[in-house]
């Protein structure tokens, strides 16, 4: 609530101004070139405008119903004024925060190169704004700008840690409302993983092996496969090796490409060793054993 006067700013300031409530309760005493004296009930609740002697009163309650008077001295002239303020439960309810909405300039961003602006709107008087990323308060920094009374949030050069969810908390002396969450998509590729199935690194000739490449990417990544640095014709997130031979031993690598960010991500190598047939000596031993067993049976 703002109590305005009929005074317009002039070259000569007020010598003194005294606002009071119901005559006996001081709100503020202003004396030029001196420190203001504020009544204890009004600490943090008022703003005084010396140029016009106007007064703003916040955090209204039913107890603020009553008569407000002002006495001022300007250029040797004594000025007086009074008004009555009526506070009702209905007026307090209409002062509640409502219609809190967050809008984003974009929700699909490129890590390390994109920027985004979030704007928070709400209805109600005497609004204050605070931004949350998850459960943490967002504060200004080299990459983060808060403008328009903190109702606008701009993040420059977004990273994967800026995905949110972002919420706007709007408060006034009567109530507090938190917006619905807004999530940002920070394009990859990122968090790549290469899994071999079966998981062991040694396989017998003729085994079947599956290599699966997983990665976070929006839009979905395109895949390439490499064996010992040489590109394979296979594409897709899964590489299936059927009836493997010794020549297929080596280090397998998966590479993911995001067509939006034009970025590549390469997996750590997965080593696969294909073991050959048992050696000839062992074959001969088994053959001789079978012959001796047959000879003994004949005798």
- Read off the CATH number of the domain in which 70 is found: 2.60.40.10
Return the number of other C-beta atoms located less than 10 Å from residue 43's C-beta.
8
- Please tell me whether residues 30 and 75 are part of one structural domain: yes
Count up the domains in the chain and report the number: 3
- Please tell me whether residues 197 and 181 are part of one structural domain: no
- Please tell me whether residues 207 and 171 are part of one structural domain: no
DSSP-assigned states of every residue in 211-245: EEEEEE-SSPPEEEEEETTEEPS--SSEEEE-S--
**8 lies in a domain?**
yes
**33 lies in a domain?**
yes
- Please tell me whether residues 179 and 195 are part of one structural domain: no
Cα gap 166→117, rounded to integer Å: 12
Percent of the chain with pLDDT over 90: 43
**55 lies in a domain?**
yes
Closest CA to 77 of 133, 26, 126, 16: 16
Give the CB-side neighbour count of residue 142, counting CA atoms within 13 A.
Answer: 1
**291 lies in a domain?**
no
**262 lies in a domain?**
yes
Least confident of 86-90, 178-182, 262-266, 284-288: 284-288
Among 187, 203, 219, the domain boundary falls at 187
- Please tell me whether residues 213 and 242 are part of one structural domain: yes
Cα gap 23→203, rounded to integer Å: 95
pLDDT at 286: 46
- Please tell me whether residues 176 and 137 are part of one structural domain: yes
| Per-residue pLDDT tens over the stretch 140-167 | 999 999 999 899 999 998 887 888 899 9
Q: Would you place residue 4 in the very low, low, confident or very high pLDDT band (cuts 50, 70, 90)?
A: confident
**222 lies in a domain?**
yes
Instruction: Give the chain's mean pLDDT.
Output: 84
Return the number of other C-beta atoms located less than 10 Å from residue 68's C-beta.
21
Is the confidence at residue 296, as pLDDT, over 60?
no
**CA 56 from chain center: how many Å?**
35
pTM above 0.85, yes or no: no
DSSP H helices, 119-274, are none
- Domain coverage including residue 69: 2-85
Among 169, 187, 205, the domain boundary falls at 187
pLDDT at 107: 79
Region of residue 76 (phi > 0: left; psi between -120 and 50: alpha; otherwise: beta): left
Closest CA to 210 of 233, 191, 236, 183: 236
Closest CA to 231 of 266, 206, 275, 204: 266
- Please tell me whether residues 124 and 167 are part of one structural domain: yes
- What dihedral do alpha carbons 280, 205, 246, 198 form, nearest 10°? -140
- Please tell me whether residues 160 and 142 are part of one structural domain: yes
**162 lies in a domain?**
yes
How far, CA to CA in Å, does 247 sit from each of 20, 24, 272? 95, 99, 11
Q: Hey, is 283 helix, strand or coil?
A: helix
- Please tell me whether residues 118 and 139 are part of one structural domain: yes
- Please tell me whether residues 183 and 103 are part of one structural domain: yes
- Please tell me whether residues 176 and 110 are part of one structural domain: yes
Which tokens belong to 59? 């955090």
Q: Which residues contact 122 (CB under 8 A, 6 or more apart)?
A: 97, 98, 99, 100, 101, 129, 168, 170, 177
- Please tell me whether residues 195 and 264 are part of one structural domain: yes
Give the CB-side neighbour count of residue 132, counting CA atoms within 13 A.
Answer: 13
**93 lies in a domain?**
no
**CA 290 from chain center: how many Å?**
73
Q: Would you place residue 34 in the very low, low, confident or very high pLDDT band (cuts 50, 70, 90)?
A: confident
Cα gap 54→40, rounded to integer Å: 19
């Amino acid at each position: 609530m703002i109590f305005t006067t009929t005074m317009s700013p002039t070259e000569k300031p007020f010598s003194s101004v005294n606002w009071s409530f119901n005559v006996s309760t001081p709100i503020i005493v202003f004396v030029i070139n001196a420190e203001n004296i504020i009544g204890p009930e009004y600490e943090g609740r008022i703003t005084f405008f010396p140029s016009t002697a106007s007064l703003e009163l916040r955090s209204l309650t039913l107890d603020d119903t009553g008569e407000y008077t002002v006495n001022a001295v300007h250029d040797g002239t004594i000025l007086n004024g009074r008004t009555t303020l009526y506070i009702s439960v209905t007026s307090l309810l209409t002062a509640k925060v409502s219609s809190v909405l967050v809008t984003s300039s974009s929700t699909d961003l490129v890590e390390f190169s994109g920027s985004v602006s979030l704007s928070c709107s709400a209805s109600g008087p005497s609004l204050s704004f605070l931004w949350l990323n998850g459960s943490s308060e967002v504060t200004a920094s080299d990459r983060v700008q808060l403008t328009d009374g903190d109702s606008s949030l701009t993040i420059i050069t977004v990273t994967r840690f800026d995905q949110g969810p972002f919420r706007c908390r709007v408060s006034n002396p009567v109530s507090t409302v938190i917006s619905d969450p807004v999530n940002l998509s920070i394009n990859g590729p990122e968090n790549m993983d290469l899994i071999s199935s079966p998981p062991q690194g040694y396989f017998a000739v003729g085994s079947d092996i599956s290599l699966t490449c997983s990665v976070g990417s929006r839009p979905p990544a395109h895949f390439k496969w490499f064996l010992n640095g040489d590109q394979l014709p296979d594409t897709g997130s899964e590489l299936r090796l059927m009836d493997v031979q010794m020549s297929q031993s080596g280090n397998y690598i998966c590479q993911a490409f995001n067509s939006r960010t034009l970025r590549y991500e390469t997996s750590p190598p997965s080593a696969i060793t294909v073991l050959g047939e048992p050696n000839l000596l062992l074959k001969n031993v088994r053959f001789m054993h079978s012959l001796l067993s047959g000879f003994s049976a004949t005798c």
